[in-house]
Amino acid sequence: MTMQTDSAIFEPKIIGFLCNWCSYAGADKAGGMQVPFPHNVQVIRVMCSGRVDPQFILSALVKGADAVIILACHPGDCHYKEGNCRALQRHSMLTLVLGQLGVEKERCRLDYVSAGEGEKFSRIVTEMVESVRKLGPFRRDLP
Identify the structural domains of the chain with CATH numbers, from first to last: 10-133 (3.40.50.960)
- If pLDDT is split at 50, 70 and 90, which confidence band does 3 have? very low
How confident is the model at residue 66, as a pLDDT? 98
DSSP one-letter code for 74 = P
pTM (two decimals): 0.91
Question: DSSP assignment, residue 73?
Answer: P
Compare 4 and 18 and report the one with higher pLDDT.
18
Position 90 scores a pLDDT of 96
Angle formed by the axes of helices 118-135 and 23-32, nearest 10°: 100
| Spatial separation of the C-alpha atoms in residues 60 and 70, rounded to whole Å | 12
Q: In what order do the strands lie in the sheet with 41-46?
A: 41-46, 14-19, 67-72, 108-112
The model's confidence at residue 9, banded by pLDDT at 50, 70 and 90, is confident
